[in-house]
Amino acid sequence: MSRILVTGAAGFLGSHLCDQLLEGGHEVIGMDNRVSGQTENLDDAFEHSAFSFYEHDVTEFIHVAGDLDAVLHLASLASPVFYRDYPIKTLKVGALGTHKTLGLAKEKDATYLFTSTSEVYGDPEVNPQPEDYRGNVDPYGPRSCYDESKRYGESLVRAYRDKHGLDVRVARIFNTYGPRMRIDDGRVIPNFMRQALTGEDLTVYGDGEQTRSFCYVSDMIDGLVALLESDIEEPVNIGNPDERTINELAEVVLDVVGSNSGITYEELPPQDPEVRRPDISKATSELGWKPEIPLREGLIDSIPYFKKQI
96-118 per-position pLDDT tens digit: 999 999 999 999 999 999 999 99
Q: Is 247 in the same domain as 224?
A: no
pLDDT at 80 exceeding the cut of 90: no
Give per-residue pLDDT as tens, 144-193: 999 999 999 999 999 999 999 999 999 999 999 999 999 998 999 999 99
Predicted local distance difference test score (pLDDT) of residue 82: 84
Q: Is 227 in the same domain as 263?
A: no
Residue 127 gets the label, from left (phi > 0), alpha (psi -120 to 50) or beta, of beta
Q: Is 144 in the same domain as 221?
A: yes
Q: Is 227 in the same domain as 96?
A: yes
Instruction: In whole angstroms, give the CA distance from residue 148 to residue 104.
Output: 23
Alpha helix segments (H runs only) across 24-118: 80-85, 87-108
The domain tally of the chain equals 2
Q: Is residue 182 in some structural domain? A: no
What range does the domain containing 207 cover?
188-211+243-276+296-309
**Which residue out of 83, 112, 121, 146 is catalytically annotated?**
146
pLDDT at 84 exceeding the cut of 90: no
Q: Is residue 265 in some structural domain? A: yes
pLDDT at 1 exceeding the cut of 80: no
Angle, helix 295-309 to helix 188-198, in steps of 10 degrees? 60
Q: Is 229 in the same domain as 270?
A: no
Closest CA relative to residue 38, chosen from 300, 310, 309, 221: 309
Q: Is 200 in the same domain as 63?
A: no
153: domain CATH number? 3.40.50.720
Closest CA relative to residue 34, chosen from 92, 65, 63, 77: 77
Percentage of the chain lying above the pLDDT 70 cut: 100
Q: Is 18 in the same domain as 138?
A: yes
- The verdict on whether 83 is a catalytic residue reads no
Predicted local distance difference test score (pLDDT) of residue 124: 97
For the chain, give the mean pLDDT: 96
Q: Is 67 in the same domain as 170?
A: yes
Q: Is 266 in the same domain as 286?
A: no
pTM value?
Answer: 0.96
**Under a CB-based contact definition with an 8 Å cutoff, are residues 87 and 64 in contact?**
no
260: domain CATH number? 3.90.25.10
Q: Is 131 in the same domain as 224?
A: yes
